Amino acid sequence: MAVSVSIDPDLCVGSGDCVRLLPGAFELREDLGVSVPLPGALDAEIDLLVQAAYGCPTQAIRVVAADGTVLHESNGG
């Protein structure tokens, strides 16, 4: 199943929890102080992406299936 992954930079505090769980899908951009999704996020296991999103301390990660189903919504909406 194809997904899109985004991180709300206004919510992200750069904890790096997502990077520790899926280093091929997320990168901590220390220059920005936030995590960003990488192209590898599109190939990551959906269960792990959702786990990363739920584990985000500020709920900044949004995961959406190709059919538009929101698998995890960020606190930013």
pLDDT at 77 over 80: no
What is the Cα–Cα distance from 32 to 47, expressed in whole angstroms?
Answer: 27
Is the pTM for the entire model greater than 0.85?
yes
* CATH number of this structure's domain 3-72, picked from the four choices 3.40.50.410, 3.40.50.300, 3.30.70.20, 3.40.50.620: 3.30.70.20
The pLDDT of residue 63 is 97
The string of pLDDT tens digits covering residues 15-61 is 999 999 999 999 999 999 999 999 999 999 999 999 999 999 999 99
pLDDT at 1 over 70: no
The pLDDT of residue 2 is 84
CA-wise closest residue to 38 among 28, 53, 27: 27
Domain positions in the chain are: 3-72
